[in-house]
Each structure stands twice: as C-alpha cells, then as structure tokens.
Amino acid sequence: MASTTADLPAASRGIALRKSEGQWTIVLRRFRRHRLAMISLFVLVLIFVASLMAPILAPFPRDATGLAPRFSPPLTTNPQTGTLHILGTDHVGRDFFTRLLYAARITLSVAFSVATAATLIGMTLGALAGYFRGIVDSIVMRVLEFMASIPDFPILLIIASILITDPKLLPYPPFVLDLIGNLMLLNSVGTERAQVLTMIVVLTLFGWTGAARLMRGMVLSVRERDFIESARSLGANNVRIILRHVVPNAFPPLVVAYTLSLAGALTAETALSFLGVGITDPTPTWGNMLQFATNFMLTNPWVPLIPGIPVVLCSLGFNFIGDGLRDALDPRLKM
C-alpha cells in the first residue's frame, strides 16, 4: 500500500512540502528573510504612497508663497489660517511639507520612468544582439563601446542644460505631455511638463547600456543550450524563442539590475537639478529643493536635511532591495 505524506516522519514531510513549493514562493520566502530589504521596501512604499496622496495630505497649495515668514522652523503655526507647518517654510514662505510631497511624486516618477524605459530598451537591444549576432551584434556593440568611451556625466550636463533651457528643441506630442502632467501633478501653463519629459529622455539616453550588456551576456550563455535547439526543431520562430525561452532565463539578473538602476536614476536626476541644469523651480524636486537649501545652510542648518534625508533613504532602499533580490534569486545560496 502506498504511503501518504501524513504517514511520513516529520522531517520527510517537511522535505516533501518544501519540494512542492513554487519557484516564486521560494523567492518570496528567501526575500522576506533579508531584513534590510524588507525595511527598505516598507519605507519606499510609505514614501511612494504619501507622494501619490499629495493633494490630500498637503495642507497648502504647492506654489503658494508668503504663507508664513521665510524659514519658519518646523511645527510653526500659520498666523493667517492657524494651520501647522509641519516642516516649516522655505526661502519664500512656501510650506516645506507640501513641497516635499509633490517633489517626491516627481522625483520618484522620473526615476521609475527612466529605469523602466532604459531597462526595456537595453533588454531589447541586448537580446537581439546576443541572439542574432553577426551584423546586429556588431552595431549594438559599437554603439555600446562609443557610449562607454565618453564621460557620461559631463555630456549629460551639457545635453541636459541645452534641452532643459529650450524644451522646444524636442517637439513632444500633446497627449504625452498631458500624461506626464496628470501623473506628476504638473501645471499645464509654462514649460514644466516639457522639462520633466526632457529629463526622462536625457537620463534614458545614457541609462540603457548596462541592461543591454547584461542581457547580451545572458542570451549568449543560453542560446546554444539544448532546450533552445529543441524549440527550433519543433518549429518555434525566433520571436517566440526569445520571448518564451531566452528572456525568462535572463529575467532574475535583470530584476536586480532594474532596482539598482532606480537608485542611479534618482541620484542622477537629483544631481542635475541640484546643479541647476535639471528640473527648475517652481517645479519641486528633491534636487532643486536641496540646491536652495544649501544656500542658507549656515544660518538654517536644518533646512538641507528636509530634502536630503528622503534622497538618502530612497537610494539606500533601492540598493538594499536589489541586494535582497540578488540573494533571493540566486539558487546557489541557501537561506
């Protein structure tokens, strides 16, 4: 008579149950054991949800000036309305907490847009180069070598300063500007929407190379395996082989690379806005808030901490999540 799982010893039952777990269940269980990654995920979700609820949580209008005396300290009561300035006011009397929420929405949206677009572009070009090789691989690799031979940040500064100063150089479709404006709560008057979209385009232009190299290497390592040859012999075309067999095998490293590219996009946008060649005031981002704060940090040393702490928390959070995903997706590690 065949024995059931209930008839097995406790240790054997545990092994049988563990073998029945799905792949993503195992990955989730391993990821949850990474404490820093879980704490980072909680903090990032909290910040992102707060930014999405900015119109509800913000006690004042985004650009309203003269609400209180300039550089009012935190927990100052507005003399006109009696509303509390939770983080005080900036150099023109705008509420810091309100600006911080709207800036989080813009900065995080830019980071997610850049990381997503760059990963998709790099994944597509890397998969085509690694799978077809030949002339396709030569063209992609020459472009990658050219991008690697130039200093990224100086060129990024030059291109960003030119395009941000005159957004009309890139004619965007109106529906794209409307989509960006509605997503990030940008004003329809002026060049706010064009500036933000230009920042996304510029950062994506320099951010796809890492994903392309990673994807190409993964495709080269799996394209000659037996299951690929079996799919070819069964009549599967190249598109089906790439989408159903090649890309899934390269997916785990790409997920880790995506989380790390989020941190890179966030710090790049913050750096450009801090240097004055990115998104400019009155559109709030953590970078331009930090730029204005450093001008007055000697007399008001608490002011740079307001935009600086979220930048540090989100950058560390993305890196810790990437570290946790790397450990969870690596089958060689036992957790």
Residue with tokens 């404490």: 35
> What residue spans of the chain are helical by DSSP H?
10-19, 23-32, 35-52, 54-57, 96-132, 134-149, 152-165, 174-184, 192-207, 209-222, 226-233, 238-241, 247-274, 286-294, 305-329
Confidence band of 2 (pLDDT split at 50, 70, 90): very low
Output b/e per residue, 119-147; b: 16+ Cβ within 10 A: bebbbbbbbbbbbeeeeebeebeeebeee
Rounded to whole angstroms, how far apart are CA atoms 205 and 36?
Answer: 32
Domain for residue 11, yes or no?
no
Q: What is the pLDDT of residue 5?
A: 47
Q: What is the pLDDT of residue 295?
A: 82
Instruction: Report the mean per-residue pLDDT for the chain.
Output: 84
Region of poorest pLDDT, from 170-179, 217-226, 272-281, 311-320:
217-226
What single-letter DSSP state applies at residue 169?
Answer: G
Please tell me the pTM assigned to this model.
0.86
Domain for residue 16, yes or no?
no
Confidence band of 1 (pLDDT split at 50, 70, 90): very low
Give bridge partners of residue 89 from the DSSP assignment: 95
Rounded to whole angstroms, how far apart are CA atoms 328 and 145?
Answer: 32
59-80 average pLDDT score: 84
Residues 112/289, Cβ–Cβ less than 8 Å:
no
Per-residue model confidence as pLDDT tens digits over 39-49 = 999 999 999 99
CATH of the domain at 321: 1.10.3720.10
DSSP per-residue codes, 19-37? HTS-HHHHHHHHHHT-HHH
Please give the residue range of the domain that contains residue 310: 23-329
The radius of gyration of the chain's CA atoms, rounded to the nearest angstrom, is 24
Rounded to whole angstroms, how far apart are CA atoms 207 and 113?
Answer: 11
How many other CB atoms are there within 10 angstroms of residue 234's CB atom?
8
Domain for residue 2, yes or no?
no
Domain for residue 53, yes or no?
yes
Confidence band of 3 (pLDDT split at 50, 70, 90): very low
Domain for residue 10, yes or no?
no
197-217 average pLDDT score: 89
Domain for residue 255, yes or no?
yes
Rounded to whole angstroms, how far apart are CA atoms 293 and 273?
Answer: 13
Tokens of 244: 């159903």
Domain for residue 3, yes or no?
no
Closest by Cα among 306, 279, 273 to 90:
306
Residues 228/241, Cβ–Cβ less than 8 Å:
yes
Residue 58 has pLDDT above 70, yes or no: yes
Residues 57/47, Cβ–Cβ less than 8 Å:
no
Residue 9 has pLDDT above 90, yes or no: no
Residue 319 has pLDDT above 80, yes or no: yes
Per-residue model confidence as pLDDT tens digits over 141-160 = 999 888 878 777 788 888 88
Residue with tokens 């200093």: 151
Domain for residue 166, yes or no?
yes
CA of 55: how far to CAs of 45, 70, 82, in Å? 17, 23, 19
22-30 average pLDDT score: 80
Residue that wins the pLDDT comparison between 256 and 11: 256
Q: What is the pLDDT of residue 160?
A: 80
Residue 86 has pLDDT above 50, yes or no: yes
Domain count of the fold of the chain: 1
